[in-house]
Structures are given as structure tokens and as C-alpha cells.
Amino acid sequence: MDKISATLHKSKIAKNPHPILLINDVPLEMWITGIVFDPDGADTTNHLVPAQGWLIDDEDLNAAWELLMPSSVDCSTIVPLLICPDDMDLSCTVIAVEQEITNETVIWHKFGLVTHVINHVPVSVSWDKRNQSVKFKYDEFLSAFNELKRLTNEEWI
């Protein structure tokens, strides 16, 4: 089982620390390096920031939080995780994950580049062919989600 948590972290593009998820103690934008590539074969994921917190459109931001929040059991959801810090919207580079919720786990099955968004929700994704996946204990994931939200709302300047 993989480990997930949330903390404040200063990424390459940020002036100050910001909330981010950690996978096995590695910040998400660093952990995902080498997993998702753009159509030209470039890997620029270490210059992306979390969708949850950085999106400037309120409807996009609310959708990103709602999609990440574990809800329907035995269903999968496409969740935007990382975005381009220049645009801070869902129109540029967006990394998404297919997230499945079970009674005891949250599984991130595969990662990819979002290619189409409708009504603030990613609907088409160019999935990475290697199908990298991680599996978290449900309670640990929920704790990390709640801490990410708390850090975003209360600690982040």
C-alpha cells in the first residue's frame, strides 16, 4: 500500500511554499516526473502546480475539489491533479488521474494529459501507456484530502 499525505512545499515555480499532496513522501509534481509526457515526448510535470488551490475560476476550483473528494464506491472518476501555473485554468496543461474508490482503498489507476474539458470537468484524457498506479488506504487518503483543504484555506498565503 502506498502512502499519501499533504504538506506545504515550495515547488520550482513558486515563490513561497504551497499545499500539495505527497505520494510516499515525495511531492506530487516530483513523484509524477517520468510518468506523463506531452505529445512531443517532453516531460514538464515538475513545473506544474496542484489544481486544488491554484485554479482561478471558482467553478473549475470547486469541481477539482469535488472530483478529488472520495464519493461513489466502486466507481472511477477523472480527477485533475496538476495544472500549468501560467494560466491557472483547465485550458492549458492539465494532468489527471483515474481515481477509483472502494470501501477500504483509493486507487489511482493511471495518469494522463487532459485533452478536453466540458463544464469544468475533464472528459477526455490521453492516458500514459505504462499505467502507473498507486493504492492508498481510504482513511489515509481522506485525511490527506482534509489536510490539503485545510492548508489551502487556512495556511497558504
Could you give the domains of the chain? 4-155 (3.30.2450)
> Would you call 60 exposed, middle or buried from its count of C-beta atoms within 10 A (0-12, 13-18, 19+)?
buried
Which of the four pLDDT bands, split at 50, 70 and 90, describes residue 89? confident
Torsion of CA 39, 43, 46, 50, to 10 degrees: 20
pLDDT at 37: 64
Per-residue pLDDT tens for 103-138? 999 999 999 999 999 998 899 999 988 778 999 999
Rg (CA), the chain: 14
User: What does the DSSP 8-state code read for residue 151?
Assistant: I
Stated pTM of the model: 0.91
Cα-Cα end-to-end distance for the chain: 33
pLDDT at 151: 97
